[in-house]
């Protein structure tokens, strides 16, 4: 009986050491789940806290639930992103569409007021297809402020305008 207990203790100890050293995929998966759960509980990725795919660091990307080192590498590799469809297409090479959609809860492609397509404009919270199309039809905008003013004209929504301000790409002075 004493030998059996000692053997079980040794087995548990070896399993723990083996798992800590990166031994088992199953253990690593459960550790990842625990880490993701903890991250989900502590991270707030509301509309004004999403990460810019063109500006966020690898460390910031790693905080997203379900994103491992490989996906962080992929996020960084395809920069700069010019559209959300580009992001979907490139990440779709590695994960399914549902996983890509889950990533989009935490990420956005910065909006270029004179260049972004309909889908990219639709990332702005509250944006409808009709509003986005009206903004596209109003191009070209001389400045980002002209674009933001047109949101008020088109959507009559100051909150959407504030969201848009956050989602805008950092344009160069010649484009503003």
Q: What is the pLDDT of residues 52-76, one digit of tens each?
A: 999 999 999 999 999 999 999 999 9
Residue 67 and residue 96: Cα distance in Å, rounded?
13
Answer whether residue 14 is part of any domain: no
- 66/142 same-domain check: no
- 145/81 same-domain check: no
- Provide the domain count of the chain: 2
Query: Residue 34's domain spans which residues?
Result: 24-108
Element (H, E) at 108: strand 107-108
- Residues near 167 by Cβ (< 8 Å), separated by ≥ 6? 108, 110, 111, 123, 124
With pLDDT > 90 as the criterion, what percentage of the chain qualifies? 64
Answer whether residue 173 is part of any domain: no
- 37/102 same-domain check: yes
- 51/98 same-domain check: yes
CB atoms within 10 A of CB 1: 5
Let me know if 151 is exposed, middle or buried by CB neighbors in 10 A (0-12, 13-18, 19+). Answer: buried
- 84/57 same-domain check: yes
The residue written with tokens 């990440």 in the block is 91
Give the mean pLDDT of 28-40: 40
Let me know if 120 is exposed, middle or buried by CB neighbors in 10 A (0-12, 13-18, 19+). Answer: buried
Pairing of strands 107-108, 51-52: parallel
What is the pTM (predicted TM-score) of this model?
0.71
Closest CA to 131 of 108, 149, 153: 153
């Amino acid at each position: 009986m004493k030998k059996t207990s000692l053997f079980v203790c040794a087995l548990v100890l070896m399993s723990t050491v083996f798992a800590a050293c990166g031994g088992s995929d199953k253990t690593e998966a459960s550790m990842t789940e625990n880490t993701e759960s903890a991250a989900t509980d502590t991270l707030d990725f509301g509309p004004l806290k999403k990460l810019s795919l063109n500006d966020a660091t690898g460390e910031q990307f790693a905080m997203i639930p379900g994103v491992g080192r490989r996906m962080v590498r992929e996020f960084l590799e395809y920069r700069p992103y010019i559209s959300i469809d580009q992001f979907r297409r490139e990440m779709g090479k590695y994960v399914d569409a549902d996983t890509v959609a889950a990533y989009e809860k935490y990420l956005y492609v910065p909006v270029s007021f004179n260049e972004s397509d309909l889908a990219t404009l639709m990332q702005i919270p509250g944006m409808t297809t009709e509003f986005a199309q009206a903004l596209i039809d109003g191009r070209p905008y001389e400045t980002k402020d002209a674009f933001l003013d047109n949101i008020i004209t088109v959507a009559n929504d100051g909150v959407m305008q504030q969201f848009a301000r956050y989602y805008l790409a950092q344009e160069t002075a010649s484009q503003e």
